[in-house]
Chains A and B, each alone.
Chain A
Amino acid sequence: MSDTETFDILEQRKAYNATLTQAADKTRATWFPVVVLLLLLAMPALQFVGNYNYLLHLLLFTLSYVVIASGWNILGGFAGYISLGHNVFFAVGGYFAGMMFARLGISTLILAPLAGLVAGLLGYLIGLITLRVRGPSFIISSLALVMIFRIFFENWEFVGGAAGVSLKANDLTVQWAKLPYYYGFLVMAAFTVWVSYRIKHSKFGLGLRAISKDEIKAESAGIDTRFYKVLAFAISAFFVGMAGAVWGEYLTYIRPNIFLTVLISVNMVLICILGGKGTIAGPVIGAILIVAFNEFFVATLGASEINILATGLIMMICLMFFPLGIVGTLAKHRKLPRFLDWD
């Protein structure tokens, strides 16, 4: 090897080491999510000093959105398959756990993982069929899925048809009645975010990212694209189904129109797009913002269609300034505050 060549390599080594130190400097702010989690764990203590039921409801609502949006993100954000039909799994989880609760009296909080597995298995089977196409065709197939399941549930007498089934409320006093569900969703949200993080940093996650960029390249790189996609679909359905399980008991009834509405399937997509598709913190930020916007407009404009319109409008404005979502865009410009960098 000639001297100049050796010199070149040494130069490159140096340059590379410099980039490494830069990377190491970007230490993770793990404390932040941990502190948020602790605060949320302590929040119900407010009930000792007053009536904060509404606040707890909003937090619970946000947490449930974190679970479904983060779940959706595994397929839609990581693998790049936009599903507008993920509320099917919300419904399947809800009905499975709801019916078991109604018949056998087992709490949906205990059933949630099982309901998630049922939804995940269904997701796996559906994914085997619908993931053969991508882009608009996939989106349309996911919409068709919602219609099929809506018709199915509305006509299935065993689960009460369109009227659904009402579920027993728990025996706790009004002050504490929300607590089990609040903690249920908190645990699920933390779990979902943690799993998303683990997936993103695994070979599986790297493969999904490759698939979202260029499936043919991914395939020729040695990635079993079909299995990766279907597995992502199943995991994603698992989380959405788990959320659905507890949601039914929280509302004290299961009915097609609380699960299988456009609003829910669209919201999980919007949350991810607003927060940052394919990022870990994105769905969390998005869920907080959507609930906050909605509350703000309901408070100022009243509970009419106008607040939905206003929420839509402000989202459009956000996306004009943050085309990749808030977390995604800030990260791209290297302006993401460290405490929000969960990736």
Chain B
Amino acid sequence: MLEIRNLCKHFGGIKAVDQCSFSVEQGSITALIGPNGAGKTTAFNCISRTMTPTTGEVWLDGERIDGLRPHKITGLGLSRTFQISRNLADMTVLENIICQSKISGWRDMFKPAMSADEIEKAMGILEFLGITRLAHEDGGNLSYGQKKLMDLAALLMSDPKIILLDEPAGGVNPTLLEEIIGHIRKLNEQGLTVLIVEHNMDLIMRLSHRVVVMAQGQVIADGTPDEVREDPAVLEAYLGGTMEAA
């Protein structure tokens, strides 16, 4: 469904992403892992066009998307979250979420900001995530974990086909972690394709169907969780054995 071919992103001399190629199957949960600074976030940025890739191609459902502007990519059904939540302050959670609802053409621009349908849909999503009570809070006033949930909620508003999650459960407490895993699994069961970056190995091994491992900008392994776990190159990258420890 999503295919990345020879993606490169250089910052001056740093090759943050270097000749990366991997693909994400329709309906799967694919994990992108790797040590800090491996280039995972940069790869996400290049796929969603938050950054311009230096070279390489990104294909979504047979369409080349690496030349498109970010809102077009979102319009095609690829949505992402940010590693550090980018909530819009001075806007309620509801507004934050409805911001993300699909707009087609300039006619839509002059419709009311939040139609009754959209509010109902957004409330449905909030209910699914169990945070209805936050609807009228200021998006900037949420706790760290609440922001992570709101990110997920906003993502769903645009009816994506594939979602890119950058550490959706990074730094949250174990209860919330379980909750978020549950949500991702449920969404995937409903047919949503997921590409997820996460440092929690336990979570990755339980959740994902495929694992892509990056280190120093390159893909060093790609396979099922079990295959990757045994891969010597991966163990090497994680400095011998932290995989077991995790």
Contacts and interface: CB of A to CB of B under 8 A. Distances in A.
B86 A214 contact: yes
A218 B100 CA distance: 8
Contact of A16 (B48, B90, B99, B133): B133
Interface residues of A, number: 33
B111 interface: yes
Interface string B80-91: 101000111111
Contacts of A228: 109
Contacts of A219: 50, 69-71
A8 B71 contact: no
Interface string A196-233: 00100111111101100110111111111111100000
Contacts of A13: 127, 132
Interface residues of B, number: 41
B30 interface: no
A303 B111 CA distance: 48
Question: Could you tell me the dominant secondary structure of chain B's interface residues?
Answer: loop
Given A202-B112, A216-B50, A220-B74, A12 B95 contact: no
A206 B115 CA distance: 12
Nearest to B127: A9
B75 interface: yes
B71 A202 contact: no
Contacts of A23: 136
A220 B91 contact: no
Given A202-B110, A203-B111, A222-B102, A15 B71 contact: no
Contacts, number: 104
Interface in B95-121: 95, 98-103, 106, 108-114
A209 B158 CA distance: 18
Contact of A8 (B48, B87, B90, B130): B130
A47 interface: no
A170 interface: no
Given A9-B127, A9-B132, A221-B99, 5 more contacts: A23-B136, A198-B110, A202-B110, A207-B109, A224-B103
6 contacts: A9-B130, A206-B98, A206-B114, A210-B99, A213-B91, A225-B71
Instruction: Across the A-B interface, give the 8 residue pairs with the lowest CB-CB distance, nearest first.
Output: A222-B74, A12-B132, A217-B86, A204-B109, A213-B88, A206-B113, A219-B70, A221-B100
